[in-house]
Structure 1
Amino acid sequence: MTKNLDVLALSEEVERDSQSGQLSRKLLAQGQTLYGKEPDFPDHLVRTTADGKNSLGHWEDGEFAEELCLLW
């Protein structure tokens, strides 16, 4: 038996969880590493690890090169 996927409902759930921060919390709780933009440092990425560490850096040779550990 095949279960139909309600793509619209799924996209609405993802949008809601993303805006509330719930999606990030769920992914970090699963041990994922998240990357995003920081408006104060437009030329860099922010990496957030499951242990709560935030780092500012960039991609270099296919790896994240940390330049600064952020305390926030």
Structure 2
Amino acid sequence: MPRAKIATKPSGYLRHIYYDSVCYRQDALQMCVDVGGEDRVFYGSDYPFNFGDMPGCLARVNALAA
């Protein structure tokens, strides 16, 4: 089957995705902001599961450039 042509580069679709702020690395969270935009990153909690690092997660979010 031939490949379908798309009007937008795959990277162009990344602005249409919402990103969860539950990351274990500062650089991964920063990449979400850089790629998707700060308006696409939301606080996450993984509730009802306890992933054990909510203070670290909040610290990484608060460390992002304003």
Q: State TM-score, norm by structure 2.
A: 0.26
Higher relative contact order (CA 8 A, sep 6+): 2
Higher strand share: 1
Higher helix share: 2
Q: State TM-score, norm by structure 1.
A: 0.25
